A and B are shown apart, each in its own frame.
Chain A
Amino acid sequence: MSISETTVKWIVWIILTTIAAVWLGNVMLSDRADKTLFMPGALSPGHHQLAQACDACHVDAFGGGEVLQRACVDCHGKERVKPFDSHPSKKFKDPRNAELLASIDALSCISCHTEHRPEITAKDGVTQPEDFCFYCHQEVAKDRPSHEGMGFDSCKDSGCHNFHNNRALYTDFLTKHLDEPPTLKEVVLPASEYLSVLDEIIEYPREKYPVVQLEEKDIDAAERLGDKTEIKNDWLQTAHAKSGVNCTACHVDQGEEASSWEDHPKPSACSSCHSVEVERFTQGKHGMRLKQGLTPMTPAQARLPMKADASHESLTCNSCHGGHRFDVQEAAVEACLGCHDDDHSLAYEQSEHYKLWQKEINGEAESNTGVSCASCHMPRINYDVSEWTSRIIVDHNQSANLSPNSKMIRSSCLHCHGLELTLDALADGTSIKNNFAGAPAVHIPTMDLAFKEKQRREREAAEADHEAE
């Protein structure tokens, strides 16, 4: 019996379709297979490292926007509250805003920020509608006559307004910082306070590792250490040795389950004392893959220019804080420049900031007067470590302090510079590229408007006084 050509075609079609279905199904259902195949478009700069972890955002196969919203809030929710957010969602939940919500759904992140749409993704890594402010603030010129005639597509220009973070851009803040010189007289950055707040760090394993100065004779893994004198000497110089952190404190997991010796401790080992720092690290671009259970980020995966010879370095705590010295000065500059290869990074060593940094590390200037990469990009901030307490931490989520760069104004720039210079410098792309060599060539009118507003207020207050008399 001969098989007709059509039947053969059908059989071949069925076989190929079955193979394709099995293969695609396998990719879809496998936990860690590369699923970029299914992507409707490339991911945004903030999320591109998570291409293998679709379920980081698509937490449920069934469901629509509310599923995505849950994922957004899970990672970004902490920053979306007052005073870090001028438009937190709770502001819009009141029934009286039902009409406003009908024109722009401010309860849902994806109303403005669409993923997988590189063609409309803006400079700061998110999609944004051009003139969304219009829907609620049409009558702004009534309150702020200085804004008469301004286009609603100019609200979010650099140094003016953000939808979310306006901590350094609200009127009273601007007027408070009028008349500041470009560089303030006494400049000093916040100092570390970790040691002085050890008592407040509940998770600190003080019972097992009391906070006392350790010496060579106290080493609790002498056999393993053997004759590795470099490791021993490095450790003896650290704050770890000075505060009771013995070998096993890091090399044996201090979690609930007893574990064995680990030659290369993972971030979880650091977490037992530095949980806030590790948590923040895994929220930023350096550590976000770890949070999703992926392999550590490598510079090869970065979209910014990176040094070729560092391409395959893994990014964990130890990448910047090399054991066993954990040199924070090295972590603040050399570690960054070991990978980052963009214009701004390359120009750093010619900058005024770097000169100050060198003076500090050479002991020619006071502590915290130098400006390292970390001074601006991983600044020391007063951070709410719980609902009830805050302390100064080095914010290891460097992404939280950038994009838009006005987020850096208070945490970094204003420690040393006046607000007017800061706003101009952050709006000047060339100045950023050459790491702020010389005065900014751009001037934005924010402070001029604040000055006018102050004058208007004073004039009106004087008029009211006059009337009262």
Chain B
Amino acid sequence: MKDQKQKMKLNLKHKMKRNLLIATSAVSIATTAAVSAEVSDATVSVKAMADALHLVMDSDRSVYTKKIVNRLVKKDKVIKASEHFEDDKALALPAQMFRFGSELAAKRAEKMDDVNFSYTLQSLWPINKQNAPKTEAEKTGLKYVAENKGKNYYTTEKLGGINYFTAIYADTGVAPVCVSCHNAHPDTPKKDFKIGDVMGGVVIRIPVEG
């Protein structure tokens, strides 16, 4: 077990070295095509990488929420969306779709030497208590983005002996379904969300040296 942890750590360190210098842009993550030295040496900051990642994931989720879930559930009324989507033969909730993407990305990144990041959707008012903030950075950051609309929160933190650049972005209830579902869920700690409220936040972590 110790060996495994050490191996993971080494692997991470190896990944971090590259991450720090060549914080690969979100676009190049999708491809492993050969690139010229000139292109591969170009750098972007970890903050820019995090911002780009957030932009992609937020846009994808917005499209899923709007064009799939809201259209079929609210407008066309042909199918339900359910957290037990397999049992209920329904659509996966946007938050679940987001998490599945995060888990798949993490799994695929394991096999890529120079790609390492993770992201989660969390809330100060989580339905699933495992999605409540755990680290100090998460607690402070989620509070910050809820109280300072339109601003992101950036910090560094050390978890399990590894340093991370951590970026937190507000997650806003844009559609009536987001708000009504959360307010009505039996396990929600907050039942009075309104459209436009910050309901949680996306936390992106990129390991860095230092």
Query: Which residues of A does B touch, CB under 8 Å?
Result: 63-66, 69, 83, 90, 93-99, 101-102, 105, 107-108, 110-111, 136, 139, 142-143, 170, 172-173, 456-457, 460-461, 464
Question: Could you tell me if B84 and A173 are in contact, using CB atoms closer than 8 angstroms?
Answer: yes
Question: Could you tell me if A172 and B84 are in contact, using CB atoms closer than 8 angstroms?
Answer: yes
Question: Could you tell me if B164 and A95 are in contact, using CB atoms closer than 8 angstroms?
Answer: yes
CA distance A99 to B84 in the complex (A): 29
Question: Could you tell me if A95 and B162 are in contact, using CB atoms closer than 8 angstroms?
Answer: yes
Determine whether B1 belongs to the interface, using a CB cutoff of 8 Å to chain A. yes
Question: Could you tell me if B106 and A83 are in contact, using CB atoms closer than 8 angstroms?
Answer: no
Q: Among A101, A139, A172, find the residue whose CB has the most chain B CB atoms closer than 10 A.
A: A172
Query: Which residues of B does A touch, CB under 8 Å?
Result: 1-4, 7, 83-84, 86-87, 103, 106-107, 118, 120, 129-130, 134-135, 138, 159-160, 162, 164, 183-184, 186-187, 191, 203, 205, 207
Residue from B4, B134, B164 in contact with A99 in the complex, judged by beta carbons closer than 8 Å:
B134
Question: Could you tell me if B3 and A90 are in contact, using CB atoms closer than 8 angstroms?
Answer: no
CA distance A461 to B103 in the complex (A): 33
CA distance A216 to B175 in the complex (A): 68
- Given known contacts A173-B87, A457-B186, is B164 in contact with A105 (CB within 8 Å)? no
Question: Could you tell me if A94 and B191 are in contact, using CB atoms closer than 8 angstroms?
Answer: no
- Given known contacts A173-B84, A461-B186, is B3 in contact with A98 (CB within 8 Å)? no
Q: Give chain B residues whose Cβ lies under 8 Å from the Cβ of A64.
A: 1-4
CA distance A457 to B184 in the complex (A): 10
Smallest Cβ-Cβ distance to A96: which chain B residue? B134
Q: Give chain B residues whose Cβ lies under 8 Å from the Cβ of A110.
A: 1
Residue from A63, A101, A111, A136 in contact with B160 in the complex, judged by beta carbons closer than 8 Å:
A101
CA distance A172 to B187 in the complex (A): 11
Q: Give chain A residues whose Cβ lies under 8 Å from the Cβ of B4.
A: 64-66, 69, 107-108
Question: Could you tell me if B3 and A96 are in contact, using CB atoms closer than 8 angstroms?
Answer: no
Q: Give chain A residues whose Cβ lies under 8 Å from the Cβ of B207.
A: 95
Residue from B1, B159, B183, B205 in contact with A65 in the complex, judged by beta carbons closer than 8 Å:
B1
Q: Give chain B residues whose Cβ lies under 8 Å from the Cβ of A461.
A: 184, 186
CA distance A108 to B103 in the complex (A): 18
CA distance A83 to B4 in the complex (A): 27
Known: A64-B3, A96-B138. 11 other contacts (CB 8 A): A63-B3, A66-B3, A94-B120, A96-B134, A99-B134, A99-B159, A108-B4, A172-B84, A173-B84, A457-B186, A461-B184
CA distance A64 to B3 in the complex (A): 7
CA distance A123 to B86 in the complex (A): 31
27 contacts between A and B (CB under 8 A): A64-B1, A64-B3, A65-B4, A66-B4, A69-B4, A90-B107, A93-B118, A94-B106, A95-B118, A95-B160, A95-B162, A95-B164, A95-B205, A95-B207, A96-B135, A96-B205, A99-B160, A105-B1, A108-B1, A142-B129, A143-B129, A172-B84, A173-B87, A456-B186, A460-B186, A461-B184, A461-B186
CB distance from A176 to the nearest CB of B (A): 8
Interface of B (DSSP majority class): mixed
- Given known contacts A66-B3, A173-B87, is B159 in contact with A98 (CB within 8 Å)? yes
CA distance A293 to B184 in the complex (A): 55
Question: Could you tell me if A90 and B186 are in contact, using CB atoms closer than 8 angstroms?
Answer: no
Question: Could you tell me if B129 and A139 are in contact, using CB atoms closer than 8 angstroms?
Answer: yes
Smallest Cβ-Cβ distance to A108: which chain B residue? B1
Closest 10 CB pairs of A and B: A98-B160, A457-B186, A64-B3, A66-B4, A65-B1, A98-B159, A95-B159, A90-B103, A464-B191, A65-B4
CB distance from B48 to the nearest CB of A (A): 21
Smallest Cβ-Cβ distance to B130: which chain A residue? A136
Q: Give chain B residues whose Cβ lies under 8 Å from the Cβ of A457.
A: 186
Question: Could you tell me if B3 and A65 are in contact, using CB atoms closer than 8 angstroms?
Answer: yes
Smallest Cβ-Cβ distance to B160: which chain A residue? A98
- Given known contacts A108-B4, A111-B1, A464-B191, is B186 in contact with A94 (CB within 8 Å)? no
CB distance from B119 to the nearest CB of A (A): 9
CB distance from B87 to the nearest CB of A (A): 7
CB distance from B13 to the nearest CB of A (A): 14
Q: Among B84, B118, B186, find the residue whose CB has the most chain A CB atoms closer than 10 A.
A: B186
CA distance A209 to B128 in the complex (A): 54
CA distance A261 to B158 in the complex (A): 66
